Chain A
Amino acid sequence: MSVTFSDPMLPKLYRVQRVRHEMLDTFTLELEPDDDSAIPPFATGQFNMLYVFGVGEIPISISGDPDKPRPLIHTTRAVGIVSRALQQLKPGDTLGVRGPFGSHWPIEQGVGKDVVIAAGGIGLAPLRSTMYQLITRREQYGRVILLYGAKAPEDILYRRELKRWRGRLDLDVYITVDHATNEWHGSVGVVTRLIPRAPFDPSKTIAFVCGPEIMMRFTAAGLEARGVTAEQIYVSMERNMKCAVGFCGHCQYQPYFVCRDGPVFQYSRVQRLLTKGEI
């Protein structure tokens, strides 16, 4: 069997250009191909497999702007062996990258509609690229609303960008935290509390939701209570992935392979599965 350059199982060598420490356990890697070749085009919501040599490989959503693919940007939390090894990388270090893989946030379906982006915690990372795209093509959409929830004020991701987006008159940005002292002057409460406050027309809305599964479930329920149907809602699923191309079955989610059929799913397709703890 011959291996070609486009073999999806063959990592390409990338070099760390910059590491941004977003929070104690959350960081952003900016990567460039080691041979300075072009970065493959990607769509918002897709992911790459990042390979720390000698340690292992994990899937990470792309959090950069598809219109500005250089450098390749990933934000993640250091919670496992591989992600901790990724956090230790320094500028100039190399790693393997395969991808992009998976389905994307269907922003093209939002043209002419209100777009609600609901993110919880680090769930903002794969949706940041969606925000970039919506802002670039702002005139094509109705209201663009970002609902973002974090655990505490110090856990808010991409603070500078959120501040910039909040300052724009053509975006509605709502931020809340679950817990705060009285030094915090913003909203306190779970992210679902923002849904009734947001000004969108449920009959002409598309919603993209990313966060812990329970957050996505409750958020989707809140959106449905406002009149948004399950067909108008998209969620991004996370499962243990290995091959990323639908061969190995590690990420099987009942009839789906999350790597190939997802990670972005129409909520109506996974709604029933989300309440089953055994899968």
Chain B
Amino acid sequence: MQTLEAILAAHPFFQGLDARYMELITRCAINVRFHAGRYLFHEGEQAAHFYLIREGRIALETVATPHQPVTIETIETGEVLGWSWLFPPYRWHFSARAVEPIRAIMLDGVCLREKGETDHDLGYELMKRVAHILIQRLQATRLQLLDIYNVNPGSGGGPSR
């Protein structure tokens, strides 16, 4: 069975991070499980953690119309859930619901944030890695906003008009 440290070290989010930081990060991490349907956090709540998803699918939701949550995107196996722990006001922007049974590693964001404030090398590494995720999500959101399947109706099937 893989140790928590080995799992964390192998995850792309922490790959290449100095061993002394990995030790610290492992101390801030615990294995968690969530049943399908359970919320990991709710929009507006204090954001003190983030998650490395080992298995399962999580829906990021918001309420666009009363009683009708809309899924903004899903975060899935191998991906990182949550960045609000790193940026003021440290509150979740969306709610996260387990669509399937979830196995994850939960990391103490407050602990890491405080360490990053005093050790700027660690802070910079964390910031770079979270920024990388943010860029990917921003690009995906831009594409989502373009509503690409309606930009040029009929397009997209090779020759089709």
Contact = CB atoms under 8 A, between A and B. Distances in A.
Most interface-central of B61, B139, B144, B160 (chain A CB within 10 A): B160
A196 B97 CA distance: 22
B155 A238 contact: yes
B159 A263 contact: yes
Contacts of A258: 159
A205 interface: no
A123 B143 CA distance: 17
A87 to B, nearest CB: 12
Contact of B149 (A151, A181, A188): A151
Interface stretch (A31-39, A107-115, A131-139, A212-220): A212-220
Contacts of B152: 212
A73 to B, nearest CB: 13
A61 B19 CA distance: 54
Interface of A is mostly: mixed
A70 to B, nearest CB: 21
Contacts of A180: 70-71
Interface in A43-85: 45, 47, 58-61, 75-77, 79-80, 82-83
B140 A192 contact: yes
Interface in A200-240: 210-215, 218, 236-238, 240
Nearest to A47: B159
A185 B59 CA distance: 9
A79 B143 contact: no
Interface residues of B, number: 37
A188 B72 contact: yes
Contact of A189 (B70, B140, B150): B140
Nearest to A121: B149
A191 B76 CA distance: 14
A178 B157 contact: no
A21 interface: no
Given A178-B149, A187-B76, A192-B143, A240 B161 contact: yes
A172 interface: no
Contacts of A181: 68-71
Nearest to B75: A189
B79 to A, nearest CB: 8
A249 B109 CA distance: 60
A241 B158 CA distance: 12
A189 B144 contact: yes
B71 A184 contact: yes
Contacts, number: 148
Tell me whether chain B's interface is mostly helix, strand or loop, or mixed.
mixed
Nearest to A79: B154
B44 interface: no
Interface in B60-76: 61, 68-74, 76
A59 B157 CA distance: 10
A187 B140 CA distance: 13
Contacts of B149: 120-121, 150-151, 155, 178, 212
A117 interface: no
B156 A212 contact: yes
A147 interface: no
A193 interface: yes
B72 to A, nearest CB: 7
Given A120-B149, A150-B149, A182-B61, A76 B160 contact: yes
27 contacts: A47-B159, A59-B161, A76-B161, A77-B153, A120-B149, A120-B156, A121-B148, A125-B160, A181-B68, A187-B74, A188-B74, A189-B74, A190-B143, A190-B144, A192-B140, A197-B79, A210-B156, A212-B156, A213-B156, A214-B148, A215-B143, A236-B158, A238-B156, A238-B157, A238-B158, A238-B160, A241-B159
Q: Sort A-B residue pairs by CB-CB distance and give the 7 closest, nearest first.
A: A59-B159, A79-B154, A236-B158, A122-B157, A61-B158, A126-B158, A47-B159
Interface of A: 45, 47, 58-61, 75-77, 79-80, 82-83, 102, 120-123, 125-126, 150-151, 155, 176, 178-182, 184-190, 192-193, 196-197, 210-215, 218, 236-238, 240-241, 258-259, 263-264
